[in-house]
Amino acid sequence: MTRDDTEETAAPAADGRPAGRWSVLFERGRQPGDGQGPTPDAAAGRGPRRPRGVAPEANRTNALHPGAWWVWALGLGTAASRTTNPLLLALLVGTAGYVVAARRTSAPWARSYGAFVKLAMAVLAIRLVFAVFLGSPIPGTHLVVTLPEVPLPDWAQGVRIGGRVTAEGLVFALYDGLKLATLLICVGAANALANPARLLKSLPGALYETGVAVVVALTFAPNLIADAQRLRSARRLRGRPDRGLRGLLHVGLPVLEGALERSVALAAAMDARGYGRTARVPSGVRRTTAVLTLGGLLGVCAGTYGLLTAEGGTYGLPVLAAGLAAALGGLWLGGRRTARTRYRPDEWGVRAWLVAGSGVAVAALMTAAASYDLAALRPGVVPLVAPALPLWPAAAVLLGLLPAFVAPIPKEAP
Amino acid sequence: MIRFEDVSVTYEGAAGPTVRGVDFEVPEGELVLLVGPSGVGKSTVLGAVSGLVPHFTGGTLRGRVTVAGRDTRTHKPRELADVVGTVGQDPLSHFVTDTVEDELAYGMESLGLAPDVMRRRVEETLDLLSLADLRDRPISTLSGGQQQRVAIGSVLTPHPSVLVLDEPTSALDPAAAEEVLAVLQRLVHDLGTTVLMAEHRLERVVQYADRLVLLPSPGAAPVLGTPAEVMAVSPVCPPVVELGRLAGWSPLPLTVRDARRRAGDLRERLAQAPGGAGPAQLRVPAQRDGAGRDGAARRDETGRKAAAERRDETGRKAAAERRREAAPQGVRPVSALARLLRRGAPDAPTESPGDRPAVVESLAVRRGRIEALRRVGLTAAPGETIALMGRNGAGKSTLLGALVGLVAPAAGSVLVGGAVPHRTAPRDLVRRVGLVPQEPRDLLYADTVAAECAAADEDAGAAAGTCRALVSELLPGIADDTHPRDLSEGQRLALALAVVLTARPPLLLLDEPTRGLDYAAKARLVTVLRGLAAEGHAIVLATHDVELAAELAHRVVILADGEVVADGPTAEVVVASPSFAPQVGKVLAPLPWLTVAQVREALS
């Protein structure tokens, strides 16, 4: 699309549509003067214009709340757990994969997506291998192959090694494995798209210091690996073999020593920069905080116990709710002790609502579809039939693509 | 702003106080430099200002330290965080978050500043330290100079009235160091920040200081005064001050500019001195006739010859350059070798490349998609000392890594004593090449010096006691049962050097050997390395220290972005560059003297 058509299509939108938050949402950082067409130098300075309806480039201000990504991914995961239809599952994987491809950054955590995909494939393969060698409870008539069966003693009844492998059993295992694999891929997508450090920063004030500790630990792990590599190569300089397990074991102690020294240096630096400064709060508030937190946690325990035992069904839920409320109250009061403020926290804006909402919508629609027409979502394996793509659930899954259009576009790697 | 009242600090288990009788005051808006040999307690004095000594380190502090009216006895470091900003020696262990912008905001978050104030100060600080382009970058991807600037920025944002810095420029290349110092000067001049810092590389910082506090020896009372006064009595001083002392100038010049204005008569005296064409150049000793230690007359002659050679070498080099460009790729090694032979001892018979300690030809190294080195050529002759220079990240350490086989070449070839390093078993390789890494501690595993030496003998297959004899030579008076971690920076370097030398490698590589060394330790290192070169070891050192390169190197190779941009005799390469020229070279330019030792010799 050339720049000129873009202008033509963009101009009526800017004039005709009410300038509400939605029109703002779909347009890319428009300048006040843009409605009248770009001045020559402004157009030259901005380079090729993106077509209308494209999200803005990501920066610190419009960054999507990491929680929104998690809600979206968990929504897709919930949807995946409601169906075994391979076509729907493939559609879910495709949706998650497309969004990751469109909105992934070049950050180190974003590379974890590939690892999750490999893990999912491994899970699928293991599920199939088990179905082949350990048999499957699914009765089937289409024989694929008969493996030699290992004779087992009587006490191992119900366990089988080898024997008949039927197409029905394999297909059932495939559907089942695909469900697990899809769940893993959804979690992987959330991991790749949401910045873990920023997610931890969204913790309530009282838990902030724990969050910082986790962030520090997260940055320490790569340092530890780098140290181990450096010391291993230093072994080579001493004329000792630098490969093999022995080489790794020998550098273990120096690596830990180095990590310890660095932690002490970091602790000193953090102390000198005001980590752990607390505001003075009245002793009454302090005591209330302790009582609320402890009581709340006890309530949560008792409530969960009540829910899980048969006879506690009546008091379980209310006690759990009260316990949760008290614990949250305790956390909120505890937050008053820390004087710290937050620098540019991620805002839960319209885009975050849309991303999270699309995930929730997929989950809700799929759950509704499961109660309405279970057969379409769980295609039978006995007798063996080709799965059909149910139209409405498939359309619902496609809602999960919304983030690929509304989430801000990450910058190119520097 | 900072007041020390008769302070002494004794650490637990120490025989006596580390510092004693520290009593001085730093007024607001001054830049005060803490100088002294290593191990005199500079870091202790700095730590006392931020309250980390004794709250964090333990030990007993007698006397009183007050900062902006707050007594550090009653205020913990975190309660001083709004008035004191501290940056330690290693910026990497200072960072709490993962991106530049978050790091700048971290201190303010802890102090509970309002969000709009934080935002404004982060933007101001990004501009002040020219970090705006890096705001979203992960800190681990930044260069050393950038990290140091981020570390300074991260303590500046809470607007502390006092800034405490421990060796802010030691790990930086000359240009990055100037960048950091310019920022500090701006803070002092524009914002009235009080700065107290310790630094070994006095040649970089002494001209910025308003006053100096000298700690002459461990446990001795500090000496205070203006830089010129203190430098006159200081056991540590930069080359320009040493030159001033030699020439008898008073008051002592602290900057190259001051010295140049006084140096007119010195230049005249040097021009009339015997050997007036230039100092005796450091020459690759020709092994066969032992020319490494010839008499004064001979040196005089070589000096003249060197000067003459230098004059016509430029022309010859240009011609060689043209030939090289015209020649097809395959011919290049021959001409490179020929050039080297001509540069080296002229009477040396032609040797095969296998006898050379190191031959690197059109080497390329890749790290992922980044080309760390491109078409690098380097040849080291026995007895030659080569200094590799260039900014942080230019590929110096990678080149050294390729020479010891830690890095496999993507193209081109590396031969060390005729062997391909990354395919040679480590046990054989140690007899051909030895590397002392940037952090000498990486080489040391054992918990006593004696055990370390025994292990080194075994690794190298040398006779028992070889390493210990080397240690005693390099480091007299070190007990067998000392733990390597308790050694000072310089002692640890010497121990690592002894370990590497146990296998008698003809090629010795050193990565940033003078980081954290004081002038005395550096002088000892120079003597040791000169001795090794005279014995026929080829030495390649990667360094930012221009003074060290001027004292030691026969040849300087400058790398930039993984390519060799200059390769030639030290005097030529170094004088041509404003950031790589040593102070004496700048003062005496256009005369070719580079070090105080050369000038002293010429005058005597």
| pLDDT tens readout for residues A43-85 | 444 444 555 556 788 888 888 899 999 999 999 999 999 899 9
The answer to whether the Cβ–Cβ distance between A274 and B118 falls below 8 Å is no
Is the pLDDT score of B564 beyond 90? yes
The answer, yes or no, to whether ipTM is higher than 0.85 is: no
| Residue A208 to residue B394: CA distance in whole angstroms | 40
Question: Residue B458: which residues within 8 A CB-CB, separation 6 or more?
Answer: none
What does the pLDDT read at residue A43? 40
- List of chain B residues whose C-beta atoms are within 8 Å of the C-beta of residue A216: 96
The yes-or-no verdict on residue B160 having pLDDT over 70 is: yes
Asked if the Cβ–Cβ distance from A234 to B443 is below 8 Å, we say yes
- Chain A residues touching residue B400 (CB < 8 angstroms): none
Q: How many angstroms away from the CA of B356 is the closest CA of chain A?
A: 20
Instruction: DSSP letter for A169, please.
Output: H
**Phi (first) and psi of residue B26, to 5 degrees:** -110, 115
d(C-alpha A411, C-alpha A33), whole Å: 25
Contact B80, A275 (CB under 8 A): no
Q: Assess whether pLDDT exceeds 90 at residue A360.
A: yes
Where is average pLDDT lowest: A271-285, B22-36, B123-137, B491-505?
A: A271-285
Q: Which of A219, A272, A343 sits opposite B109 (nearest CB)?
A: A343
Per the CB < 8 Å rule, is A262 touching B93? Answer: yes
Among residues B336, B398, B360, the alpha carbon closest in space to that of B561 is found at B398
Q: Chain B: nearest CA to A99, how far in angstroms?
A: 23
**Chain B residues with beta carbon closer than 8 angstroms to that of A222:** 140
Residue A356's pLDDT band, with cuts at 50, 70 and 90, is very high
Tell me whether residues B96 and A216 touch, CB distance under 8 A: yes
- What does pLDDT average to over chain A? 80
Q: Are B144 and B172 in contact (CB under 8 A)?
A: yes
User: Which of A19-28, A277-286, B49-58 has the weakest average pLDDT?
Assistant: A19-28
pLDDT at B302 over 70: no
What is the pLDDT at residue A86?
A: 93
**Tokens 């010429």 -> residue:** B602
pLDDT in tens, B232-244: 888 888 999 999 9
pLDDT at residue A119 greater than cutoff 80: yes
- Residue A195 distance to chain B (closest CA, Å): 11
Reply yes or no on whether the pLDDT at B63 is more than 90: yes
Write the CA distances from A200 to A71, A138, A148, A153, B438, integer angstroms. 15, 45, 54, 54, 36
Q: Which residues pair with B557 in a beta bridge?
A: B388, B567
pLDDT reported for residue A18: 43
The pLDDT of residue B554: 92
Which of the two residues, B453 and B290, has the higher pLDDT score? Answer: B453
User: Which band of pLDDT confidence, cut at 50, 70 and 90, is reported for residue A196?
Assistant: confident
Are A343 and B437 inside 8 Å of each other by CB? Answer: no
Is the pLDDT at A274 greater than 90? The verdict is no
Quickly state the pLDDT bin for B542 (edges 50, 70, 90): very high
Across the range B167-196, mean pLDDT stands at: 87
Both tokens of residue B429?
A: 């390789």
Selecting from A239, A274, A276 the residue whose C-beta is nearest the C-beta of B460 gives A239
Mean pLDDT of A339-346: 84
Under an 8 A CB cutoff, do A341 and B112 touch? yes
Q: What b-and-e string marks burial along A260-297, b requiring 16 or more CB atoms within 10 Å of the CB? A: eebeebbebbbbbbbbebeeeeeeeeeebbeebbebbe
Quick: pLDDT tens for B245-266.
999 888 889 999 999 999 988 8
Using a CB-CB cut-off of 8 Å, the residues of chain B touching A235 are 426
Are the C-beta atoms of B443 and A235 separated by less than 8 Å? no
Quick: pLDDT tens for B24-55.
999 999 999 999 888 788 889 999 999 998 88
Q: How far apart are CA B233 and CA A375, in angstroms?
A: 94
Q: Which residues contact A38 (CB under 8 A, 6 or more apart)?
A: A7, A46
Test the B interface: residue of A224, A238, A336 with most B CBs within 10 Å: A238
CB B458 within 8 A of CB B426: no
* Chain B residues closer than 8 Å to A343 by CB: 101-102, 105-106, 108-109, 115, 118-119, 122
pLDDT at position B279: 60
Share of chain B above pLDDT 70, in %: 86
User: Smallest Cβ distance to A268: which of B52, B110, B443?
Assistant: B52
Q: Please give, rounded to a whole number of angstroms, the shortest distance from the CA of A309 to a CA of chain B.
A: 45
Dist CA B139 CA B351 (whole Å)? 48
Provide DSSP, B48-94.
Answer: HHHTHHHHTT-SEEEEEEEETTEETTTS-HHHHTTTEEEE-S-GGGG
User: How far apart are the C-alpha atoms of B511 and B501, rounded to whole Å?
Assistant: 15
Q: DSSP letter string over A259-277?
A: HHHHHHHHHHHHHHTTTT-
CA-wise closest residue to B534 among B181, B286, B311, B332: B286
Please determine, for residue A28, whether its predicted confidence score (pLDDT) is greater than 50: no
Closest in B78, B106, B113 to A276, CB measured: B78
CA distance B120 to chain A (A): 11
Closest CA relative to residue B480, chosen from B450, B457, B451: B450
CB-CB neighbors (< 8 A) of A59 in chain B: 136
pLDDT at A52: 54
Name the minimum distance, in Å, from the CA of B286 to any CA of chain A: 29
A120 or A210, which is more confident?
A120
Among the partner residues A240, A274, A275, nearest to B426 by beta-carbon distance: A240
Q: Express as a percent the part of chain A with pLDDT over 70.
A: 84
Residue B403 has pLDDT above 90, yes or no: yes
| A152-193 tens-digit pLDDT | 887 877 777 888 888 888 999 999 999 999 999 999 999 999
Q: How high is the pLDDT of residue B33?
A: 95
Chain B hits for A269, Cβ within 8 Å = 86, 88, 93-94, 96
| Mean pLDDT of the region A309-327 | 80
DSSP secondary structure string, B483-534?
A: -GGGS-HHHHHHHHHHHHHTT--SEEEEESTTTT--HHHHHHHHHHHHHHHH
pLDDT at A193: 92
Query: A108 to chain B: which residues are within 8 Å by CB?
Result: 138
Contact B570, B283 (CB under 8 A): no
Residue A99 pLDDT grade (very low, low, confident, very high; cuts 50, 70, 90): very high
Confidence of residue A30 (pLDDT cuts 50, 70, 90): very low
Residue with tokens 């009546």: A314
d(CA B185, CA B208): 7
Res. B524 pLDDT band, cuts 50 70 90: confident
> Which of B80, B100, B110 to mutate against chain A (most A CBs within 10 Å)?
B110
Residue B178 parent element (H or E): helix B174-186
Please determine, for residue B213, whether its predicted confidence score (pLDDT) is greater than 60. Answer: yes
Contact A273 B102 (CB under 8 A): no
The pLDDT confidence band at residue B274, using thresholds 50, 70 and 90, is low
B89 Cα to chain A: minimum distance (Å): 10
Chain B residues lying within 8 Å of A274, measured CB to CB: 78, 81-82, 107, 110-111, 158
What pLDDT score does B100 carry?
92
